[in-house]
Amino acid sequence: MSAEAVLQNIRTRRVTRYYTDQPVPREHLMAVLEAGRWAPSGGNRRLHRFIVVQDPVTIRLLNAVTPGMLGVPTALVVICIDWAKVAQIGCKPHHLGVYIDVGTGAENMLLSAHALGLGAGPVTSFSKAGVSMILNLPEWLTPEMMVCLGYPAPHQPFGRTLPRRSTRLDDLVCWEGFPGHS
């Protein structure tokens, strides 16, 4: 893949919040999970578990405890932190890398889904207790982020129709330190 193709994939990805009923093909799901697996991980510690959900009833139940999930995806991945592994390797629970790795895995999944022609959306607004109960998670596994997957509905009432984020590169980037703080 050319550099331009990679950059184009990054530029054109937008969050999907509403989905059709068309299921995600197994090979696409596997490719998205593989992309998550290849994400960078602080200290190469790999302290996560990916819980995949495709059962429509379970997805509906999750939707009920997830205000941030506006539509109903046909598949989703719940990225969890495995606190047993965290303790096992002596990593401090408040170590930021544990949480940053949730984001690196999610971003790889989002970009790979987009490259495969799927819609995808990250969701963190959910009841952790509710999700844990529905998915029968042990107490050492906490759900941190969902990556919803599916085929985008033609109409995305909220989000995709908004103008692209307004941050200009000049407002985001400082070169060689903060200006005026020499």
Ligand X SMILES: Cc1cc2nc3c(=O)[nH]c(=O)nc-3n(C[C@H](O)[C@H](O)[C@H](O)COP(=O)(O)O)c2cc1C
Choices 53-61, 84-92, 120-128, 171-179 (CB under 6 A): range interacting with ligand X: 120-128
Closer Cβ to ligand X, 88 or 125, answer by number: 125
Out of 71, 73, 119, 121, point to the residue binding ligand X (CB under 6 A): 121
Out of 125, 138, 157, 174, point to the residue binding ligand X (CB under 6 A): 125
Q: Which has the closest alpha carbon to 51: 29, 27, 19, 18?
A: 29
Token pair belonging to 166: 């307004």
Binding status of residue 15 toward ligand X by CB under 6 A? yes
Terminal Cα-to-Cα distance of the chain (whole angstroms): 41
Binding status of residue 88 toward ligand X by CB under 6 A? no
Cα three-residue angle 102-104-106, rounded to 5 degrees: 65
Partners of residue 141 on adjacent β-strands: 82
Q: Are strands 48-53 and 141-150 parallel, antiparallel or unpaired?
A: unpaired
Closer Cβ to ligand X, 42 or 122, answer by number: 122
Choices 71-79, 93-101, 118-126, 172-180 (CB under 6 A): range interacting with ligand X: 118-126
Token pair belonging to 128: 């952790």
Q: Write out the residues near ligand X by the rule CB under 6 A.
A: 14-15, 17, 68, 70, 121-125, 165
